[in-house]
Amino acid sequence: MSASIATICLFQNRGCLDKKDYGDEAGIRSVLQPNVFTEYGLTQRDLLMLRGKDEIRRIVEGCGLSGYFNSNIAFDDVWNKAAEIDKDLLQELASKDGERVSLYSFREVLFGKRAEEIRRTVNREYTEMCC
């Protein structure tokens, strides 16, 4: 092993009787009501990790969400809004140049825009039916 590479094992003295809260373990709520991401083995760290456009695009395509983008919802618009959210959410950890965003913020913006689009469509169709 090279001397220039640091190999630090966090919490190496941690044991089952150690009652100290290290801040990296889930609470009782996540045990009783796990979120959908937990079901797929994803952690909050996975969702908040900053990723580049190509990686986010691959994830979106891999999840079958490419159909969410259309003339009203553009990838770059979602990206820019996600970068703004990350600045508030992650503060000093956010990408300074907007070249990376978290999957969490990107998903929130995309689903929010999609929900608004569905809401407008339903309202328009309801208005045409009754009024």
Reply yes or no on whether the pLDDT at 23 is more than 70: no
Domain annotation covers residue 90: yes
Domain annotation covers residue 83: yes
Average pLDDT over residues 76-85: 96
Count of Cβ atoms closer than 10 Å to residue 101 Cβ: 27
Domain count, the chain: 1
Domain annotation covers residue 80: yes
Average pLDDT over residues 93-98: 91
Count of Cβ atoms closer than 10 Å to residue 83 Cβ: 21
Domain annotation covers residue 34: no
Domain annotation covers residue 115: yes
| Confidence at 104, pLDDT banded by 50, 70, 90 | very high
User: How many residues comprise the chain?
Assistant: 131
